[in-house]
């Protein structure tokens, strides 16, 4: 007793509720429990899962059963109509009938009836999951809620069975609710996606860049600008032809962002005179865009390269860089 008590009180270092739940299950079950029983007990604490089934209860099954006048509902309470007229043997008979129906259904359809809940889990390796959660900073990338408040899932942005890649750029961290919501409402037509990512224009200079590529990943490439603003001025572009920033897909944004980080590390390492960067997209000819294949400028800056660097990209309107903040 003392050893266990000492462990629970002092030694048990908790990163989640798992350890005390498991010990409690074992205590409650005569000292022995199988993996499934332990898992089911952990599950009973996971309100994000319970919340999902509360949604199903209210919006699907509860609605159907109410419509058929089998149940009635008052706030969060459901009542089985006619329950008070049932004898205990009738109740048992009906329970057995429900069991029979559940069993029949599972036998007919197999475990695929739960496939929508585990669709991506199986396929995503733990190390990738970790990287995605780290990149998301432990928050849902749709609603921003933290992983402490709601369990986060790693999800394919473009579903795998629609040609979505297993590349890190095609993953996002979503909280349980956003992910369930996405599954239920997402009607994006992904069918031609692979074809879309192959889009190249024969008369576009950036679609046909093949020389001097300095970095590359699945969906983006980077090369030195032919008319550099400063030494080692780089352009990062999506491989697919699209006109500007606003036409990028999320996986392309992820890919370009990742490449930009790699380039920053590379450039800063090989040229220690670089002390800053300007990063930007020109979008539309009125904003100065001259090549209509989306590209991001990564412009290394060096101390003293201009007399007064204040304002950086604000200087694209001459004279507007060095602003004077209004105090009143």
For residues 225-254, which are near Zn ion according to CB under 5 A?
A: 241
Structure tokens of 283?
């979008």
**Catalytic residue status for 116:** no
CB of 229 to Zn ion, least distance (A): 21
Residue 202 binding ligand 5GP, by CB under 6 A: no
Contact criterion met (CB below 8 Å) for 193 and 224:
no
206 is a site residue for Zn ion (CB under 5 A): yes
The DSSP code sequence of 119-135 is TTTTTS-HHHHHHHHHH
Per CB under 5 A, which region of 139-147, 179-187, 255-263, 286-294 contacts Zn ion?
A: 286-294
Give the three-state DSSP class for 203.
coil
Helices (H), 151-249: 176-185, 193-197
Which of Zn ion, ligand 5GP, none lies near 289, with the C-beta cut-off 5 to 8 A by kind?
A: ligand 5GP
The phi, psi pair for 20, rounded to 5°, reads -65, -35
Altogether, the residues listed in the chain come to a count of 328
Establish how many alpha carbons lie within 13 A of residue 196's alpha carbon, considering only the half-sphere containing its beta carbon: 15
297 counts as binding Zn ion under rule CB under 5 A: no
3-state secondary structure of 304: coil
Instruction: Choose among Zn ion, ligand 5GP, none what residue 293 binds, the Cβ cut-off being 5 to 8 Å by kind.
Output: Zn ion
Alpha helix (H) ranges present in the chain? Answer: 2-6, 18-28, 35-45, 47-56, 62-67, 88-109, 115-118, 126-135, 176-185, 193-197, 250-270
76 lines the binding site for ligand 5GP (CB under 6 A) = no
Q: Which of 288, 313, 314, 323 binds ligand 5GP (CB under 6 A)?
A: 288
Asked if 293 is part of the footprint of Zn ion (rule: CB under 5 A), the reply reads yes
Binding mask 212-241 for ligand 5GP (x = CB under 6 A): -----------x-xxx-------x------
Q: For Zn ion, which is the closer residue by CB, 136 or 234?
A: 234
Choose the catalytic residue: 156, 293, 295, 297: 295
Question: Looking at the annotation, which residues are catalytic?
Answer: 295
Instruction: Write out the residues near Zn ion by the rule CB under 5 A.
Output: 201, 204, 206-207, 241, 293
Instruction: Write out the residues near ligand 5GP by the rule CB under 6 A.
Output: 205, 223, 225-227, 235, 282, 288-291
């Amino acid at each position: 007793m003392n050893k266990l008590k000492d462990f629970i009180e002092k030694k048990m270092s908790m990163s989640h509720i798992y350890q005390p739940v498991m010990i409690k299950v074992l205590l409650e079950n005569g000292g022995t429990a199988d993996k499934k029983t332990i898992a089911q007990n952990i599950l009973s604490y996971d309100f994000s899962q319970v919340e999902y089934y509360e949604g199903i209860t209210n919006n699907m099954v509860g609605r159907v059963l109410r419509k058929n006048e089998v149940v009635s509902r008052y706030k969060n309470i459901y009542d089985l109509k006619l329950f008070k007229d049932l004898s205990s043997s009738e109740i048992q008979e009906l329970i057995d009938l429900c069991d029979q129906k559940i069993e029949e259904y599972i036998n007919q359809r197999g475990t695929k009836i739960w496939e929508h809940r585990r669709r991506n889990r199986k396929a995503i390796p733990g190390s990738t999951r970790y990287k995605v959660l780290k990149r998301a900073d432990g928050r849902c990338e749709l609603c921003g809620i933290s992983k402490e408040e709601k369990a986060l899932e790693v999800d394919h942005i473009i579903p795998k069975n629609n040609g979505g890649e297993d590349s890190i750029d095609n993953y996002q961290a979503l909280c349980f609710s956003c992910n369930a919501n996405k599954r239920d409402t997402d009607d994006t037509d992904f069918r031609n996606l692979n074809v879309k990512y192959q889009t190249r224009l024969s008369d576009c200079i950036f679609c046909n860049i093949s020389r001097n590529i300095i970095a590359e990943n699945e969906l983006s490439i980077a090369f030195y600008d032919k008319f550099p603003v400063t030494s080692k001025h780089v352009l990062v572009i999506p491989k697919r032809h699209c006109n500007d920033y606003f036409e990028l897909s999320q996986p392309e944004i992820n890919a370009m962002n990742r490449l930009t980080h790699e380039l920053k590390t590379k450039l800063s390492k090989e040229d220690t005179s670089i002390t800053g960067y300007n990063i930007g997209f020109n979008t539309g000819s009125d904003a100065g865009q001259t090549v209509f294949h989306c590209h991001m400028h990564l412009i290394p800056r060096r101390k003293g390269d201009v007399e007064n660097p204040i304002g950086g990209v604000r200087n694209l309107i001459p004279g507007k860089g060095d602003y004077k903040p209004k105090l009143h």
